[in-house]
Amino acid sequence: MSIAKKLFSAIKPNMTNRDGYPAFARSAEEQYVQTLVTNTFGNTFYADQQELLAEADGLHREMAQSNPQFMAKALVYARNEGYMRLQPLYGLAILSAYRPDLFAKVFLQVVRIPSDLTDFLTILQGMGRGEGGRAVKRQVNRFLSGVSEYWAIKYNGRGRGYNLGDAIATAHPKPADLKQQALFRYLRGQEANLTLLPQVEAYEQLKRAATEAEQLHWIETGKLPHEVVTGAVKPTKAVWEALIDQMPTFALLRHLNTLDRSGTLDNRYNMEKVVARLTDQRALQKAKILPFRFAKAFRQVQDSQLRDALRDAVEYTFANLPELEDRTAIFLDISGSMNGEYLQIGSVFALALYKKTQGNSLFWLFDTEVEDAKPSRRDSILSQADRIHARGGTDTGAPVRKLLAERRKVDQIVIITDEQQNSGSPFYKALLQYRTKVNPNVKAFIIDIAPYRSAMVPPQDRHTFYIYGWSDTVLSYIAQTAKGYDSMVQQIEAIPIESDL
């Protein structure tokens, strides 16, 4: 009996995936990280919003009882490295009920901006927790002590659900000085001395401005953020021109199509400014933009200069990714369930990884069949990703079987997938056969970008590593783990959560 047959028959699947195909359960900690960094509470191919919400709720509560220390650290990771918001905030609300001490230690690392706070308090109310109790109020007070005029006009949004004014009414913070007292009164919709709040005053004047010249005056005087301006007035071409310099990189990316359609970028000077902003490597690093956002913008804009800038932006985003070893096989799932954002993410990831490999590496696409993507290390990531499209069913074992049939020796396999196999033979079985007949030391890295909790490989396999998430940071885990560093779960366990109380 072959080693593969012995192993695969000894370690049997203990669950099924969303398509009813045999699968394995990973540890609760891995499933928790996966939920935090891939579940956006949106509908997916295999599950709707309510089903994913129910699963997430159960997993948050399970973790709060079984391993609250890991839970607290994972919330910090998901918010700051995974670039996610709602799942970490939901988990934080649950943690506050089970472990108020850990909740207090990580609160300000998860609640970073006012919209985080208002969403957190909305979640508490939705859970029937009201104001959350004394422990929550204490942390809300800490956050509110740092609220600025900029935050007040950008995030308060009175009349649009829970807002900063409601948070002040809930927590009753004590103002430190007259300016903060005026700010709190303004946020509560009460009469306030706006001479102490020049940016707030400029915003209120903008709403009453009768001419474009007046609008431009108050925008410049108050250095008003674009969200505030576009909510208060209907932007003209001149107004958009005034906003270009102060828009954050992510906002600029989201509004590229609008800027182009408005004619703002017909001016060469404006176009040069936008291109310079999009290709500023330091700004891109600070912005922490999810890679698929660039792919989405690339498909929306038609101007060649903008498309070139987006191409460069993605190359810069991955410029610091560590080099991968020679003989790396990269497999991208292009099945129907990957269609949309999953495939946009996966395509960018796969090509970014391929560009960090050497000459003997390969990049294959698969559904139930396998094809060479014919990648180029010179052509841009976005141009190549734009040519990849979803199609049929899923056979995750197919690319490994092709490696085996061709006796192609690779040192590491990277597969980017939602793991929802529905035909063919299992990935794990094919992997064990490959290790038996070609390379017993091959490592496998599974980048899972979906929230489904089933897995292709059991946790007993010490040469297979799971990586979850959508941010560019997940790719660095491959290079780190290949060099002997800890798994993703172990690295999260090492995060310090020292109290700053």
> Residue 45 has what pLDDT?
62
Across the range 407-422, mean pLDDT stands at: 92
From 271-285, 293-307, 485-499, the region with the lowest mean pLDDT: 485-499
Q: Helix and strand tally (H, E) in the chain? A: 27, 9
What's the pLDDT at 2? Answer: 54
Tell me, what's the pLDDT at 12?
81
Rounded average pLDDT over 358-372: 92
The pLDDT of residue 501 is 43
The answer to whether 140 and 121 have CB atoms below 8 angstroms apart is yes
Helices (H), 48-85: 49-66, 68-80
Query: What is residue 161's predicted lDDT score, i.e. its pLDDT?
Result: 65
Residue 3 reports pLDDT greater than 60: no
Of 353-367, 394-408, 409-423, give the range with the top mean pLDDT.
Answer: 394-408
Which amino acid, residue 286? K
pLDDT tens-place string over residues 15-68: 888 878 888 888 899 999 998 988 766 656 656 778 878 888 999 999 999 999
| Residue-by-residue DSSP string for 276-329 | HHHT-HHHHHHH---HHHHHHHHHH---HHHHHHHHHHHHHHTTTSPPPPSSEE
pLDDT at 159: 45
State pLDDT tens for residues 449-468: 888 878 899 989 989 999 88
pLDDT at 147 over 70: yes
At which residue do the structure tokens 């970073």 appear?
A: 112
pLDDT of residue 484: 61
**Residues pairing with 455 in the sheet:** 24
The string of pLDDT tens digits covering residues 243-297 is: 998 889 999 999 999 999 999 999 999 999 999 999 999 999 888 888 889 999 9
**SS (HEC) of 204-242:** HHHHHCCCHHHHHHHHHHHCCCHHHHHHHCCCCHHHHHH
pLDDT at 7 over 50: no
Q: Label the pairing between strands 15-16 and 443-448.
A: unpaired
Residue-wise pLDDT tens digits, 94-114? 999 999 999 999 999 999 999
Mean pLDDT of the chain: 89
Q: How confident is the model at residue 500 (pLDDT cuts 50, 70, 90)?
A: very low
Note if the pTM is more than 0.85: yes
**187 with 195: CB under 8 angstroms?**
no
pLDDT at 175 over 50: yes
Q: How much of the chain, in percent, has pLDDT values that exceed 70?
A: 93
| Average pLDDT of the residues in 8-14 | 68
